[in-house]
Each structure stands twice: as C-alpha cells, then as structure tokens.
A and B are shown apart, each in its own frame.
Chain A
C-alpha cells in the first residue's frame, strides 16, 4: 500500500526518465532520472501526502535512492 502511494507520487512529482511501474523496490531512483532538484519536489510531495517532515539528518541521497529506502524513512517518521 505504502509502496503504491510512493509510486504514485514518483509518477507525479519526480520527472523520472524510467517507467515507474517497471521499477523494483530496490531500483536506484537516481539512475532512473531523479535529480537533486526533483528530489526536493518529491520530498515536499511526500511530506504533504503523508503529513510528515523529514528531519535534516534524513535530507540525504540515501533516503531518496529507492522505493524501499523511502518506505523505511516514512514508516520511521510515522511510528
């Protein structure tokens, strides 16, 4: 469920070059076309959608590099 919601937000906000539906949960989103600029857009969309706020320590490439890392970060923030 969470993964599907993330996929939806990736599709709408991340301007990826790859087909979002073809990405696995471990696919490298930066290799799929995510840039630093679109990461910021995605970050705001995730925060808005899940009503969370990424702390500064999480505003790093590792957090945004895959659907799985995003899922883990969101679950940690919602816990």
Chain B
C-alpha cells in the first residue's frame, strides 16, 4: 500500500487541530534562544532535547523561518527544542569582528545542553546546518547529532563562502572610490563578514580531527542537494565508533533558496523527526528562569518583546540606551525587509539599532506576521501580496502604537523593499517624523504595483520553471500575474494617451507621497544604483515633486556588499535626535529633490 504524501501540516499536528506549540524567548549568555516546547512547563516531554544550530551568515537569513518550522515539527513530536542565534548574528551580542564565532558558539551550545539536562532532559541531540554543523561538532555536551549539508572542514566551508561572494561580485557593480576595507584575515560573503578570529578558528576545524576526540553516540548525515555524503566523511565517524545513518532526503536547496521563498521540505523534516524518535522515554520538564534582556556595551539594553497580535504572537526587540530623555526621545521603528527577520538585511537593523542607542536613541525592531519569529504561515510567502498586505500594515500599526504607549516622543521609521512600503503606509496613518525608505518598489499596492512588482521581483524569472510551478500549484495567484500584465500594458497605454491629450493626471503614488509630506513627515528615499525602485519613482512622481533621493553606487537591492553598510548606518543616524527644524516642520505639498 502506498503511503500518503508527507505534508508539513500533518507533521505539525494541525490536521484536525493539534496542540499549540509554546514559544519561550530568552538569552543564554549573550545569545538569543527561542525555546519550542510541546506544552507548558511541568508536562511530560521526550527525554531527548534538541539544540538547533542554524547555518551562518547569509544562509542563516534564508533558513531562519523554515528552521523555526522544523523546531515546531519536533516540538509537536514531543521534543523541547532550543533554537539559537549565533553570537554576532541575528539579535545576539557582538559584531563579526569582535568575536571568535567558533569559540563563542561552542560555549553557547554547551550552555544550551547543560540547561536542557538541568531541566530533566536525559539525552541532548544537536541539529547543525552547514557551517553551524561544524560548530556543533566542536561543541561539548551533545549525545547525538544531525548534520545537514555540513562541509568536511572549516577550510572547505570558507572556500565555498569565498566562491559564493566572488561569483556574486559582478552583480554588486563597481566599487565607489571610498570603500570600507575588510580587516586582514576576514572573509566577506553574501553581505556578512567572518572576522579574522572566526576565520582562524574555522580553518582549524575538520570532521576527521573533531571525531578523533569526540563522544557522539549517533549521527544522521543528510545529503547536500544532489550530492551524496562523501564516503570519507562516513568513514571518519565510523572510525570514531559513532553509529552513522545517512538520509538522501532532499531539502537543503529549498531551505537556502532566499529569505522569502525558503521552505522546509516535509521529507527532510520527517527524516530528522523519525531518527530522533529512537528513544521513546519521557521526562517532566523543569522550569527555567533565564533573562529576557541582554546587557550590551555602553549600558545599552536589548529586551525581548512579544505583542499579542491579530494572527498570534508578534516578536520584537526593544533596544534602549543607558539613559534617555523620555520627553524628547525620538524612537526608531525598523520594519521587515521582505521575508528577512527583524535583524534586517545583512543584520543591518541590529547594528543600526545599537548605534542609535549609543547616541541615546531607543528603537524597536520586530517581525510582522509570517516573518521571522512571529506567528503565521509555515510556508514561504505565497506571492508578493503577502508582503504588501493590509494585515502586515496592521501589525506595523500595532508596533507603532506599542512604542508610542511606551513613551516615544517622535517616531522615525526605517524600511527596505516591502519594509519601505510599510513605512510609507505607517506615515500615512500615524505621525512619523522621518521615514527613511530603501529600494521601495511599491508605495501603493495596486494593479500597477503588481505589474512593477511582478516584473521587479519575479521579472527575470518569468521564465523560471520553479516559480511557474508555484503559479500552477496555486502558490502564486494566476490572477495576480494576469492583472499585473494587463495593468502594466494598460498603464503604459493610458500614459501615452494622456500625454497626447496633455491632461495632467495625479498619480496615486504621487498623491500619497504628497499627503505624507503634508502631515509633516520628512521623506528620504534611498536607492541602490540601477535598482528598479528608481524607475518606479520616475514613473510615478515628476521630478519637481520627488522627495529627497540618495543613490548608493555599487550596491545591490539588499545593500550588499558590506562596504556599503557604514554609509547606511550613517544615513539612519543622520537626523539628529533633537533636530528642531524637523520637529517644527510645516506641512507642505512641495517636495525638494536632491536627486
């Protein structure tokens, strides 16, 4: 008899209504940890606890949401799962060049394993993905290990990262004259940096050497997409007396697709779930009392915030300076860039938030529904509509109102791509002092934007078989594409017709920008050189009515490479917190353009 096809909803127990997974967020040392528990503290759980170690750098950005789903799948199967943010990534402490990621990462893993044992867990299994798997192998305290697409050594991993960066280099364009020099010994890849000490430590790691003194009982090796696990890798584990299982389940490519289309493949989730189910025993989970705040240099504090949103929990981080003048404080809200979690593209929002706090300015970065750690879908974004939805706007409004209730005086917003859309929509409905909007492809989500959006986000991929498959399987609305193409054609025709008739037409986008400006918001647009956001603006707003526009040369849509980051942080900080000229700005329908 043929088995029914696997699907994530079944693995999550959502068919027929299953138990709700409980998420607890806290800091373990200097790392953020998200705990996924099958139920409230005190109930029996599997005797096997799990430490989930994500990949590093750009791959972490892509895999974040699907690994959250994997943690939920395992929690539904009875395991307590601790999903960690590596030091210097996400919302954890440190910058890349401040820390040896391998050394500090192994400390976090060991601490997570100790925490689970202290709460009654008998066996601790690790799941390490790509570079995270190498750190897992170097860590103490793990009894069993799942390794997913893990290279044979740190050197091999760094070589792959260099290749990734160098083959992307042309896409970034030419470097401007003023460039940030990468510290000697550091490696850049995909908008992230591996600092010199991390590189030195990674270069010492190899499965062969790590296995020589290891204490693992079992290991599950998952194939890299289309590439079998090398026999030599299996031999290293077997020589160390480790029981080896190999799974050919596909899914690594889908996990690392990109930040808004990555997904967890059910076959990979099931391979891991069933391998972990060897030990059926249960234990009673003891409580934990770990802090929900992180103390950073200079008295800066970051605090985990969970808002009760319309679609479930909305997860965020409040970053506060040592001292703030609550009456005059200008707060900044950072908005999700597409499917990228709250730490922002290339972790820029985390970096900027801490930099603002060093200047005495608080900020809030958070995830709208379906993104990062907020509740919502287990699937990738079905189409562009989800990122530009009224639901996302409502979540942003809720975050704004929370910040205001917390004592914010004036509020700035920062967003990129769909985050820029959320930013302008916030400024339309609430009082925003300064909206700094990067690479905005649509200020208004209408048929015209669908046309621009489809051609901008999916444009090069209109011949992409995978995306068309998503269309044909209902993941992308066929109507969306059809409406978009029709709208684009009609829009062009209408534009030509109106130009011929010399009839001025007030564009919906232009009207929105004018109304936001009239509310007293200073609009500052930033576009990467050659980004479609420039032609979008040019197509909708005449030069004399365009807001201030800054062009970033040699930078891609998500602000890579790293040399551009310092400039971006300066742009975010450039409006002084006590800038009275901005605070007293008169409503106006005129724009000045520096473009």
Contacts and interface: CB of A to CB of B under 8 A. Distances in A.
Determine chain A's interface SS by DSSP, over half rule: helix
Contacts of A31: 460
Interface in A31-54: 31, 33, 36-41, 43-45, 48, 54
A54 B461 CA distance: 29
Contact of B163 (A12, A43, A45, A48): A43
B227 A17 contact: no
B256 A17 contact: no
Interface residues of A, number: 24
A56 B165 CA distance: 12
A36 B227 contact: no
Nearest to A64: B167
B339 interface: no
Contacts of A33: 461, 464
Secondary structure dominating the interface of B: helix
B479 interface: no
B520 interface: no
Contacts of B275: none
Contact of B227 (A15, A19, A39, A45): A45
Given A39-B167, A40-B164, A60-B166, A45 B226 contact: yes
Nearest to A12: B226
A40 B226 contact: no
Given A13-B226, A41-B225, A41-B227, A59 B464 contact: no
A59 B227 contact: no
A69 to B, nearest CB: 12
A2 to B, nearest CB: 19
Given A17-B461, A41-B225, A45-B226, A61 B167 contact: yes
A40 B227 CA distance: 12
Contacts of B463: 17-18
B224 A15 contact: no
Contacts of A43: 160, 163
A41 B254 CA distance: 13
Among the interface residues B164, B166, B167, B460, which one has the most CB atoms of the partner chain A within 10 A?
A: B167
Given A17-B464, A41-B225, A60 B167 contact: yes
Most chain A beta-carbon contacts within 10 A, residue among B164, B170, B460, B467: B164
Nearest to B462: A17
Contacts of B460: 31
Contacts of B461: 17, 33
A38 B226 contact: no
B253 interface: yes
A44 to B, nearest CB: 6
A15 B464 CA distance: 10
B169 A60 contact: yes
A50 to B, nearest CB: 14
A13 B226 CA distance: 6
Interface of B: 59, 159-160, 162-171, 190, 224-227, 253, 256, 460-461, 463-467
18 contacts: A13-B225, A13-B226, A15-B225, A17-B463, A17-B464, A17-B467, A18-B465, A33-B464, A36-B165, A36-B167, A37-B59, A39-B163, A40-B160, A40-B163, A43-B163, A44-B224, A45-B227, A59-B159
Interface of A: 12-13, 15, 17-19, 31, 33, 36-41, 43-45, 48, 54, 56, 59-61, 64
